[in-house]
Chain A
């Protein structure tokens, strides 16, 4: 079974600064997808970014980018120019591409605080 670990329960960053959230995962599969979701106080889960494991290029979405290290099974999220609206719980998630279905395995989450 796959596991996802987020070792930072809480992180804080100053507005306009850069912060990196860590995620590691354990799998014996070679084909899979990785995601970062944010969950603000409204509790709505919002997709931030996704990465296909077969792609060597790191995904980017505006101020959000990932550092995907397949051999190390590491998938960190970098948020540049942090904004107050980035404050949320961030979850790293894994999905197999070798079995049918969309089932996600989530990490424990990292609570991000953005200080003005």
Chain B
């Protein structure tokens, strides 16, 4: 099976702009989670979608939003970008089951200038 894919891989934006990141899960996986990774805060959970519904949400401002489509692909959107939003954004998908192990994509590196 193909792994989790994320597009774009790199992105440069300026403050105040908005950005949309995309994630395609492993075939058959219905859960998609998003994480933000920064040197200062480490890995932080943003939100999780399962069957097009948000199942969990982390402690991020409302500028961070997401959605999931019927084919399980997910997008996350960040509006009114701030310098502190510069980070590696990781997407992970999991197979419904007992353990629901998450498998990660390569990430999107966002730089806000």
Chain A contact residues, CB within 8 Å of chain B: 33, 35, 37, 42-47, 50, 52, 91, 95, 100-109
Contact = CB atoms under 8 A, between A and B. Distances in A.
B88 A103 contact: no
A47 B107 contact: no
A105 B102 CA distance: 12
B89 to A, nearest CB: 11
A104 B107 CA distance: 16
B106 to A, nearest CB: 5
A105 B45 contact: yes
Interface stretch (B60-68, B69-77, B78-86, B92-100): B92-100
Contact of B45 (A44, A104, A108): A104
A44 B99 CA distance: 21
Interface of B: 31, 33, 35, 42-43, 45, 48, 50, 55-56, 58, 88, 90, 92, 94, 99-107, 109
A101 B102 contact: no
A100 B55 contact: yes
B106 A44 contact: yes
B33 A103 contact: yes
Given A44-B107, A103-B56, A106-B43, A33 B48 contact: no
Q: Which of B33, B50, B104 has the most chain A CB atoms closer than 10 A to its own CB?
A: B104
Contact of A43 (B31, B45, B103, B106): B106
Nearest to A100: B55
Contact of B55 (A33, A43, A45, A101): A101
Contacts of A102: 31, 33, 48, 92, 94, 100, 102
A45 B90 contact: yes
8 contacts: A44-B105, A45-B90, A102-B33, A104-B33, A104-B35, A104-B102, A106-B43, A109-B42
A45 B104 contact: yes
B42 A43 contact: no
Given A42-B106, A44-B106, A106-B42, A101 B90 contact: no
Given A100-B55, A102-B31, A44 B43 contact: no
A105 B48 CA distance: 13
